[in-house]
């Protein structure tokens, strides 16, 4: 039997649909979803076997959403990071991001940079927020960087040039859809995939623990034979 996953990645889907079911605006779902982020992150931080938690917060395709929703998400992200700094520090969590931050406002970039720096000494769980992130975009940016540096593209060099250099062990998607939506394409080559109908605002520790128990029973062979 395998141990618990060292690197968990989650596609947090269903905020908007959950809010609509409640008769609320989609933004209400995003507010609730941010609370679940805190719950799941602090739970993982208490488990020393889990080294990284990567959360798909805003994709390169999410810019296609209504302008008012995108603007709300940007403000929510800035407010969330400011309020969560204490949570990170209290739980020895190091905050990092993956994705292209250059399109964000200077204000948001400054807040992100501040939280990254303020938690850089933390030695516990690493929480990666995927912001303006897309797996294809990540691979293209890495390949272009290697080309500019005149470095041959190999498995090792490309992997080291990516935003996230660590393979994903367990990838979870909430919200009912059975696809990975351009998330961690390279890193998830041998990830165990779990899909749940539960919308993200209703996803909790109990369901995560059930998934982890199933993960522990999986024989991971990585193309070989045990």
The answer to whether residue 2 scores a pLDDT higher than 90 is: no
Instruction: Assess whether pLDDT exceeds 90 at residue 93.
Output: yes
Residue 226: pLDDT band with limits 50, 70, 90 = low
pLDDT of residue 224: 65
Query: For the whole model, what pTM was predicted?
Result: 0.94
pLDDT for 71: 93
With 60 as the cut, is the pLDDT of residue 180 above it? yes
Cβ neighbour number for residue 224 with a 10 Å cutoff: 6
pLDDT of residue 79: 94
**47 has a pLDDT exceeding 50:** yes
Supply the pLDDT for residue 88.
97
> Which residue among 13, 91, 128, 132 is the active-site one?
13
Active site residue 13: yes
**All structural domains of the chain:** 7-216 (3.40.1180.10)
Residue 14's pLDDT band, with cuts at 50, 70 and 90, is very high
- Of 24-33, 41-50, 148-157, 217-226, the one with minimum mean pLDDT is 217-226
pLDDT at residue 87, as a whole number? 96
Distance, in Å, from the CA atom of 55 to the CA atom of 25, rounded to the nearest integer, reads 23
- The burial class, CB within 10 Å (0-12 / 13-18 / 19+), for 24 is middle
DSSP string covering 91-138, please? TTPEEEEES-GGGS-HHHHHHHHHHHHHTTT--SPEEEEEEEE-HHHH
User: Virtual CA dihedral for 205, 206, 210, 215, nearest 10 degrees?
Assistant: 10
With bands split at pLDDT 50, 70 and 90, how would you rate the model's confidence at 225? low
From the candidates 62, 166, 167, 182, give the one annotated as an active-site residue.
62
What pLDDT does residue 1 have?
Answer: 43
Rg from Cα positions in the chain: 17
Number of other CB atoms surrounding residue 136 within 10 Å: 11
pLDDT tens, position by position, 107-151 = 999 999 999 999 999 999 999 999 999 999 999 999 999 999 999
Q: Are strands 192-195 and 52-59 parallel, antiparallel or unpaired?
A: unpaired
Average pLDDT, integer, range 170-191: 97
177 flagged as catalytic: no
Mean pLDDT of 202-214: 97
Residue 157: pLDDT band by 50, 70, 90 thresholds? very high
pLDDT at 220: 74
CA-closest candidate to residue 29, choices 201, 202, 205, 177: 201
Task: Tell whether the torsion through CA atoms of 189, 194, 197 and 201 is positive or negative.
Answer: negative
């Amino acid at each position: 039997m395998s141990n618990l996953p060292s690197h968990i990645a989650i596609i947090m889907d269903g905020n908007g649909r959950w809010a609509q079911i409640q008769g609320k605006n989609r933004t209400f779902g995003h507010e609730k979803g941010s609370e679940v982020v805190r719950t799941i992150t602090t739970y993982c931080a208490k488990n020393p076997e889990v080294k990284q938690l990567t959360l798909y917060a805003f994709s390169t395709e999410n810019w296609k959403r209504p302008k008012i929703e995108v603007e709300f998400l940007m403000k929510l992200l800035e407010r969330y990071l400011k309020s969560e700094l204490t949570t990170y520090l209290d739980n020895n969590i190091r905050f990092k991001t993956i994705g292209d931050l250059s399109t964000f406002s200077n204000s948001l970039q400054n807040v992100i940079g501040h939280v990254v720096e303020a938690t850089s000494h933390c030695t516990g769980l690493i929480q990666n927020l995927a912001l303006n992130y897309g797996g294809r975009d990540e691979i293209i940016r890495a390949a272009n960087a290697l080309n500019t540096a005149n470095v041959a593209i190999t498995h090792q060099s490309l992997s080291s040039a990516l935003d996230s250099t660590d393979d994903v062990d367990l990838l979870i998607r909430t919200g009912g859809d059975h696809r990975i939506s351009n998330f961690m394409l390279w890193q998830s080559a041998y990830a165990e995939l779990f899909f749940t109908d539960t919308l993200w605002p209703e996803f909790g520790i109990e369901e995560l623990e059930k998934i982890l128990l199933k993960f522990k029973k999986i024989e991971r062979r990585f193309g070989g034979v045990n």
